[in-house]
Structure 1
Amino acid sequence: MFTWKLWRALQTPPADHPLFYFVCHTKPLRLQGFITRLAPAGLTALLVAFAIGIWYAPRLIMPVLFNPTFAAITGLLLFTGTIYGLVWATSISEIIIRLRGEGKYDLLVLSPATPLRINWAICTGFLYRNQSFRRISQQRARITQVLIMLITILAIPLLLGFVADNDRYMTEVFSTLISIIALTTLLHLDHIQSAVIGTLIGLNVPLLTHRSADSRLLAGGTFLIFQIASYLALWVLGFVLLPDLHDHLHIPLAVQQVSLPISRVLVFFFSREIIILCLWHGLTNLLHERPTEIDLLASYPTGGASVLDLAAARPPRDRQV
């Protein structure tokens, strides 16, 4: 699977590469520091605002809380990888174009390293600048831990229903448990695949345009189109067509409660896997590289030093890339 190979490549960047070190230790972009704190700060502010609203004006706030449109927009902004994936796509493309405008990029591609490795060192250096990649991954891990805790709590009444031999109660609890497991998996996949898609778009766009303004527009627009397309595919296939297909085949309700959440996860994963596969092959074609280079990126040697050790070896300088 290309998703896992590229995700491993992001987790094991060329930390001993001078270009990675150079980009990683340049002055962080304000937008990059802002994005790593947006989700926790936004979630906290949202909870405080609604707590105050419920206390003073419950009749106005409660309908908003249970509005599906509001829930969808809030979840899209705070719990998916849309925001930071968008920032990474636009910022990576802008950095490469800026280096090209300064004449540095043309000198770099003359080095023994292949153009793909040069671009990969630039983009991973940006991701690990100011530990942004690590912070966002930790935030997503905390959300997953909360959901796993909820799954564990729900497992207790499931066992009680089994002991009491209450089939109807067990079916309802088991259905809820499966749905939460599917949601946890979807959030984890969304984090991984949004990061990979944003990175690949950021690498592709500078090869198609040489203007900074055009690159931001093209990278941001392309990323949003792919994100929305994958969410729409999940909705249409997973929540409209698959239930109708199950009903048409007269599949028992108990089986549907298990098969539908699993099918939705698979639809989401493979729709994005296709996007990632197309972006990777597009990148290798533009750089005249072999698609099998992905195996070399995913097994890059770090020379015995961890990414965090090398990234923290020197304080950030006052220059900005």
Structure 2
Amino acid sequence: MKYYLGVDAGGSKTYTLIVDEQGNIVGKGSSGNGNHQIDYEAAKANIRESVETALAQAGLTREQIEFAYFGLAGADREIDYRILRPMIAELGFPRHEINCDTMIALRAGTDRPYGVVLICGTGSNSAGVSPEGQFFQCGGFTYLFGDFGGGGSLCVEAFRSVIRAWDGRERQTLLTGLVLDELGYDSVQQMFDDYLDHNKVPPLRLAKLLFTAAKEGDEAAMDILRRQGIELGKSAKAVIRRLVMESLTFDVVLAGSIVTRGEGDFVLKYVREAVQEVAQGARVVTLQVEPVVGAVWLAVEATGVELPSAIYESLRGVAEFSLV
């Protein structure tokens, strides 16, 4: 029996999945941050913990794994790979490969070997692969280097909207009541003083309130989500043009909680409009399975064989990772 292992290591969690050649899930592992750019030692420990948990559950050794594929957040440039190659090699898998987590999300969301992926979760990133195998990444390097969005930015935008409505710089917004309730304050003044005096940072969970307010027609919230959609659309167009894919038929895969779990069409419609401007044969699709599934599929394909239908079909239903 052959076994394949896939890892999805992101900024807040690390998932490992092991399947056999018939598509049966035999081992799972879960841990925290797996992005070395956030914390190298924590990422190293968390990836190892997730992998060892899955191996123990499967009752397998590293030598029994036919191929291990690692999709790693922060695997952006050669300087990153010089750090990550030895880190992953220390895990002891005889046959393995590492790649940016954008690529496992893309593979999980399309049945083609090429396409574009837009990630909007805690942060934002975009990338694509052409039919010839050319890769291009656009973004993923923070606001200073051109990015906008993801929960890490949107929670700040929600918080700022409340402050700016309170001091008169912007119109009133439903976000005021929602944010105060979420954070447990009686007034904006109390929140303002506490955050300013104690150097606090708005939590990621405020981003979801933008969708709540937008559903009620709140203009401030809709403006923020509109900007997120426009920015993602710009990234998609940049990738499509760089890879000269305007005339092709392919999928633009949306991954990350902001675009897969956010309610309504407040972000997605602007992405679709932007993509249609440059590539009429492109289809915008929302990722329906966990990205770690893409890592498993890539592990199989890395051995030089076509992905068996049994493995493909069995993992298409893994829409939410659970250790159960």
Report if TM-score (shorter chain) is over 0.5.
Answer: no
Which structure has the highest helix share of the two? 1
Largest Rg, 1 or 2? 1
- Give the TM-score taking structure 2 as reference length: 0.29
Larger strand share, 1 or 2 = 2
Give the TM-score normalised by structure 1: 0.29
